[in-house]
Each structure stands twice: as C-alpha cells, then as structure tokens.
Structure 1
Amino acid sequence: YPSYQAVNNQDFQEKFSKAWKVELSPEPGLSLLDMTHGGKNGPLKAMFIMGENPALSDPVLEKVRETLNNLEFLVVADIFLTDTARLADVVLPAASFAEKTGTFTNSERRVQMVRPAIPPLAGCRTDSDIIMELARRLDYPMDYESPAEVMEEIAMLAPVYGGMYHDRLEKGWGLQWPCWDRGHPGTPFLHKYYFTRGHGRFVPSSHQPPSEPVDEQYPLLLITGRIYHQYHTGTMSRKCPTLNREADEALLQINRHDAEGLKIKNGEMVEMTSRRGTIRLTADVGSEVPAGTVYTTFHYSEAPINLLCIGARDPLANCPEYKICAVKITAAK
C-alpha cells in the first residue's frame, strides 16, 4: 500500500479495507514484469495503463507486445497516441499537467502543487475524472468533490504524507515527505541525525557479473541510458522542435578501434543484434566509450533499443537488467 505499508500486514490491510469499504487480498500483487511479460497465456486478461508506455520502455519488447496483443481487453489513458496506445482496444484522451489540479512527488520526495493554465482540450479528461467515471461504471462510486479531497485521503492513509494538504502545499515550493502532521515542516534530509532503524547497517557486497556476458558470436557489450535533450520514451519531448533539433535520432556510440575492425564509418547506418532481435541506427564513432562497449538510448521508437535487452532482473527489487547485454554490430544492408 502507499507509504511503504506492506500488503500482507493485517493491520494495514484492515485499515485500507475499512477506508475503501472493500475486502482486500492479503497477497502482494504482480510486479511490472510479471504483468507485461506473461505472454500469450499470462495471468491477466485485461489491463488499464495510464501514462506509461511499456511497449517501448520495458525490456524484451517482443514479449511485451505478445502479452498486450493477447489480452482480452486493453485500455490506455494518455495525452498522445503512444506505441502502447496503438495496441489498445480503447484509448481515453487524458489531460496534460497544464490542464489539471493536483500534486506531483519528485525524486527528492518533494510534493508540489500543479494548477491548470488552460482547461482540458476538447474530449480530454483529467486522471481523476477518468478513474472516477470508470469506478462508477464498475459499481464502485468514488465521488470525490475535488483533488483536494483526494489529497486529504492520502494524508489520512499514508503516514509519510500525513501533514500534506492543498492549503499547505499552495504556499511555497512544496513539502518533502515524511511530513507526519499539519505542524511538521517536512524532511529535507533523510537520516540527518539518525537512521530510522537505529544504528546504520553495513552489508558486505561482491560484484555480480552481467547475466549475459560477451562471446565470439556477440562480442560487444551494449550499455543503454538517456541523453539530455529527450525524456523517457519521447512521448512528450519528441513533440518539441527545439529538442528534436538537438537530438532527433538514436545514435550508437562506438569506439574508433571497434569501428575500424568492423569497417564502420561515422554517420553510417548499422544493424545491432542481440539474441532477442535487431534494430537499425546511426553509428557515432569516437572515444566516448571504451573499446568493446557500445552505448545508445531508449527514447526513439524507430530504434527500440529495449527490443534487444535481456529479461533478467534483480532477485529482490525485480528491477530489470536494462543497462547491459551482449550484441554484435554490422553495416546495414
């Protein structure tokens, strides 16, 4: 549950069951990869995806597409027709950040208000309106009068947000959780004076090699990441001419030594292949990456890099091993 409250904790389960007036399962739900990599006979029959683009952002994209294409029903709510939305049975046009009231929590735990600069475009609805209308049609009315009332419920049920209300958030640059009550100033620094658990715990760690090492068939190590001018799967940033002027295509950074051995020239179109697929992109020959390694980004649907990535994941966090896999490079035919 929100605020790191374990689903299998009976006290937390009873609290949320009482607040939401439903009987909740004590079993934790599926992880992201369990949902999107179930394949043709996966555990889910329908999905409702809001503001996410797993058909481009998840690893092993062929498995994701197989999963989504074999659902009995797929609904996507988004502000643009993403790769995922193109696979949907129904697309619900959503309002952008500039068209709604609410809050965002950023990576430094800061909760800030957003307010509408313009009303939603014709046919578009806010996230809360979409969820409440769907709930009503599913016989579970969620009649919140305003986003402020939603935030009040969050404060009531999620202790780290306990002191966050719209009237406080409107007065400055937001508050950082944990913020336990209305009198709490927020927490700019976690563990500033002490650790939550008491003493700090140091755990010895050893290097764990990549799940897929290079070999004679796939001799290069692919590292994936981001670039400054694009954001995630480019759903919004690639609509901006200025950003596209700076970075309008996927480039494969490759060391000069490797490029010479493969007879690849700077600016040449190449094919990059892993055990899971092949994509085409432009070579960027230089010294930014060491020999034996190539680097590119995942922002571009024309070069869906996650088609190549491996499906291995961290055994505890379930985070995919996005960043590293074995590939080979050839000049495009």
Structure 2
Amino acid sequence: MTNGIDEFMGCDVIFIIGSNTTENHPVIGAKIRQAIRRGTKLIVADPRKIDLARNSEIFLQIKPGTNVALLNVMMHVMLKENLHNKEFIDSRTENFEKLEEVVRGFTPEKAAEICGVKAEDIEAAARLYAKAEKGSIVYCMGITQHTTGVNNVMNIANLAMLCGQIGRESTGVNPLRGQNNVQGACDMGALPGTYTGYQSVIKQEVADKFKEAWGVEVLSTKSGLTVSEMIHAAECGEIKMLYIMGENPMVSDPDLNHVKHALENTEFLVVQDIFLTETAQLADVVLPAAAFAEKDGTFTNTERRVQRVRKAISAPGEAKADWEIIMELMNKLGYETKYMNPSEIFNEMAALTPSYAGIDYQRLEKTGIQWPCPNKEHPGSPYLHKDSFVRGKGVFMGIEYKESAELPDEKYPLTLTTGRILYHYHTRTMTGRVEGLNKKSPESFVQINPVTAIKLKIRDEDMVKVSSRRGSILVKAKVSDIVEQDVVFIPFHFAAGAANVLTNSALDPNSKTPELKVCAVVVEKLG
C-alpha cells in the first residue's frame, strides 16, 4: 500500500475494485465502514454484489476481466469534462499523451457494452473520484489474477496520477496483500528476480554487494522461475527437485490435474509445513515446521508495517522454526554460517537493505514501523511518493483493453470467477480444523444467478456438476443474485469440490500470474 490503513478515515472517496474487502480483509473492511459512517463516499466495482456494495454510493457490477475497459472510460470522462489534475500531470509525470491517445476514443457507451454496466453509472463514478480532495483506490486479487493483471495495475496507477491522488495522506494506490506476511516475504526476496528490498538479481553491483556480505565467490545474475513456471517445468522434467514451504499448490494453484501430474513427475519433492497438507501427502520428505505462535520473528503487513511476532508456546514434536530448518539445511550443504536467533538474521538483512536500514528489534519492541526507514532516527513512512516517485517522474501508460484468455462459448457458456469467503483462510490447512468455522462453511459450493438457475432447472442446494476444459467437480448450488446471469462463483478453499480443478493456467506475460478469475464452464444438474 502506498498509504496506511488508518488513513482511510480521512478519505473523501474510496474506490474499491477487485476486492471483497469485508470478507477477505475484515479488519480493513471494518475501517472502511467506519470511514463511511464519518462521511466517506464509496465506489465499488466487482463482478459480484459483495457486502460493501450496499454501502456504496455507486456500484458497478462489471463482467469478470473487464477492469481495463472500466478504468479507460473513467479516464475518458475525466479528460472530456476537464476533471484531471493538470498541475500534478505537468510537474510530476511524463508520457501523458500516450494515455490520452488510448482513452480519448474509449466512450462510455463502448465500455458499457464491454463491462455490462450502465454508461451513466460509469460517468458518475468518474466524476465522484475525480472531484474528491482525497481519493484512495483499494484493490486485491480481482485485479492481479488475470492474464492482463499487470495492465490492470498500471491502469489503476494511471487513474491515480491523472487525478493527482497519490503522494498525500489519505490518497494513493492500495493493494491488499493476500496473507498476513505476503508483503514481508516479498520484501525479504521471496521473488525470483530480487534480493531483499527489491534489489534486482540481474544487476552486477547488487550481486557484488551480497557476495561480499555472504563471503561467497559466485551469485547468479539470472532471474529464477515463478511458482507457475516451476510447476510447468516440473511437469516437463526440466526441474528434478522442488522444495515447497508453507504453500499448498494441490488446492491453491490453477488446473489441479496438471499440478498433480507435475508434482508426481518431480524426482524429489520436499514439503515444509505445519500440517500434512494435500501437497505434503505427495512429498518424499516432509519437514515439520513451527506455527506462528511457536516462533519469534517479524511480519510485514499490507501497509508496509514491520511488526514483532513473539513465541507464545513451544512447537510440538520435532517441529522447528522455519529459519532453523533452513539454517541447518544450509549448513549441511556446506555454508557454515550459524545464527542464534531471528534478530541476528534481521540485522544482517537490514544492513543490506536500504528500506529496512533503520529498523531493528529494539525499535520494534515499542511499535511497528512502516518502511522505508533509512536510518535509526527515521520514524518510518506512513505514505509514499510525497514529493517524487522513486524513478523521478511517474510514467503514464496507454493500456488497450484485451479480453481474457478464455471466454464462454456454446460448449462452456458460463463464466467462472473464484475467490475467498469470510470463514476460511487459503486452503483450510488451519481453518479446516476449527469446528465452529466448519459449521459456518462446511463444503464447497457454486453461486448461480436465479435466472440462470431457472434456465438450467437448478434449485438451491441441488448437487450440480461444474466442468471446464480441464476437469469437473461436484458441488452444491447456491442460488443467489450476488452474481449476474451467466456468471458463477466458487470459493477456492476446499480440496473436495476444488475450484482450481477448473481454472485456467494461462499466465500474465509479465508477472506470470495465472488467470484464476476468469474461465469458461458449464453447469449441469445431477440426476
């Protein structure tokens, strides 16, 4: 997030797109509701009539995969009605003409047809956001999990810059991370192309710095593979060994039949986790790891806030903290550095990472700190890009609308979109063991619009077969107007009736993120 969570309270307008905030990020959802009660206006754009839609000033129930079209026409309206921030554009951005060239011809009528919403509602949303003194954009995986995910994010940045809604308190572009330490994991270099703090692997001067610090002679300057690319490479026999930590791709990844074949084709599979997950059951070796309350360390949350995690109880059996397992493996492989505790690792990281340089465990004892924090006297950074962007000027990109990789046809006439629900976390590795949560949400289901259900002679609670080009599942139908006609929704949490048996593994060409939010399916009543 460019801005902090508490800053939502100062927003005039919040634009939520591709985020079911109250279910997927309930604390932030509650904060947004508090802001609404204080007068903040809300715009919601989503393929489903999510809970926050009833609190919105304007709700745009767009077709899955049409985010770029919606954003383009909003910017078209702003330019046509002279609502853009010319001063900000002139002083802090470049390449504006490229954006203008693309969106000038993107009329509300054209977008209404693509997105499936009224042109006047899009125009009203554009005016509301553009006229706000302080406007914030909130998005999540409804934006990123597309073959056009990078374009979606770039266009959100275009919208914010066009209105000068960045670099100030209670404005900004605010992606909500999928789990509590996704931000921290990425910050620590758990990406194929970066070291800590997003220092590029391909830059020789970065490699030289880490070589000196670690006392090694060679570090690769070639980016690695993403998760989706690894699975494909394993299936093709190009990868012989996989080490999976705290992840359950046998439920969470697209096209699960393909994933299962890839993991079974891997010569040596190691899984490190707190429970014997569906993925761990396929492993040659399982390394038992400590859960969050059984270890010390830090988490960095979605607003870039680094916070201490303190051990409350001892881990059972042979389970160890992740850092201990990795260190022991590293030592057995010949690199003999030893650490006594996580704070030693943190200090080493901070010494090599400018954005974390001013943070240590002593400072974190008092309060969390938002990076960048370049020195020990720095208080941290509640919001980013105050006077300039990291590269200097922000660059506008002219983003053309592209359709999703797979669209409905005669054989598969419905669009499936997937997501999460309030009562379960990721693949239910933890929440699936909680009796109360299982009573609330015991099994997979498919949400289907009443009109579509009537056409298919399906009633609420009927068992149905949902099929795509990749496989079929059996689930209960939930008839609801939360989805539009010809759109269905399945939560991805459940191993039985797994949504990701159906989903498409087509990737965004830049981020390599799979298109989990759009694929074509057919629904049939059983019996």
- The aligned residue for residue 251 of structure 1 is 445
Quote the Cα distance in structure 2 between the aligned partners of 1:279 and 1:36.
22
- The aligned residue for residue 301 of structure 2 is 106
- The aligned residue for residue 170 of structure 1 is 365
TM-superposed deviation, 1:277: 0.4
- Counterpart secondary structure, 1:271: strand
- Counterpart secondary structure, 2:394: coil
- Counterpart secondary structure, 1:77: strand
- Seen in structure 2, the aligned counterparts of structure 1 residues 38 and 332 have a Cα distance that, compared at 3 Å, is farther
Query: Mean alpha-carbon deviation: is it higher for 243-252 or for 209-218?
Result: 243-252
TM-superposed deviation, 1:39: 4.4
Report Cα offsets for 1:108-161 as digits up to 9, x if no partner.
Answer: 111111111111112211111111111121112230111110000110112111
Amino acid at match of 2:488: V
Quote the Cα distance in structure 1 between the aligned partners of 2:521 and 2:279.
26
- The aligned residue for residue 290 of structure 2 is 95
Query: Does residue 285 of structure 2 align to residue 285 of structure 1?
Result: no
TM-superposed deviation, 1:195: 2.0
- The aligned residue for residue 131 of structure 1 is 326
Amino acid at match of 1:266: D
Report Cα offsets for 1:202-233 as digits up to 9, x if no partner.
Answer: 22222211100100000000010111111111
Equivalent position to 1:275, from 469, 494, 512: 469
Equivalent position to 1:213, from 403, 407, 422: 407
- Counterpart secondary structure, 2:262: helix
Query: Does residue 498 of structure 2 align to residue 321 of structure 1?
Result: no
Query: Does residue 455 of structure 2 align to residue 233 of structure 1?
Result: no
Runs of 4+ aligned residues of structure 1 deviating over 3 Å after TM superposition are none
Equivalent position to 1:122, from 317, 321, 328: 317
TM-superposed deviation, 1:290: 0.5
Which consecutive residues of structure 2, in runs of 5 or more, have no partner in the other structure? 1-194
Quote the Cα distance in structure 2 between the aligned partners of 1:132 and 1:39.
26
- The aligned residue for residue 263 of structure 1 is 457
> Is residue 36–residue 54 contact of structure 1 (8 Å, CA) maintained in 2?
no
Query: Does residue 387 of structure 2 align to residue 193 of structure 1?
Result: yes
Which consecutive residues of structure 1, in runs of 5 or more, have no partner in the other structure? none
Tell me the matched-pair count.
Answer: 332
Quote the Cα distance in structure 2 between the aligned partners of 1:192 and 1:240.
44
- The aligned residue for residue 43 of structure 1 is 238
TM-superposed deviation, 1:328: 0.1
- Counterpart secondary structure, 1:238: helix
Provide the alpha-carbon RMSD of the alignment.
Answer: 1.2
Q: How does 1:304-315 map to 2 (within 5 A)?
A: 304-315=498-509
- Higher RCO structure (Cα 8 Å, ≥6 apart): 2
Quote the Cα distance in structure 1 between the aligned partners of 2:315 and 2:234.
36
Q: Percent identity over the alignment?
A: 48
> Is residue 234–residue 266 contact of structure 2 (8 Å, CA) maintained in 1?
no
Amino acid at match of 2:201: V
- Counterpart secondary structure, 1:317: coil
> Is residue 229–residue 512 contact of structure 2 (8 Å, CA) maintained in 1?
no
- The aligned residue for residue 211 of structure 2 is 17
Quote the Cα distance in structure 2 between the aligned partners of 1:184 and 1:318.
36
> Is residue 464–residue 476 contact of structure 2 (8 Å, CA) maintained in 1?
yes
- TM-score normalised by length of structure 2: 0.62
- The aligned residue for residue 281 of structure 2 is 86
Return the structure number with greater helix share. 2
Quote the Cα distance in structure 1 between the aligned partners of 2:503 and 2:481.
24
- TM-score normalised by length of structure 1: 0.97
Quote the Cα distance in structure 1 between the aligned partners of 2:251 and 2:211.
35
- Counterpart secondary structure, 2:493: coil
> Is residue 444–residue 498 contact of structure 2 (8 Å, CA) maintained in 1?
no
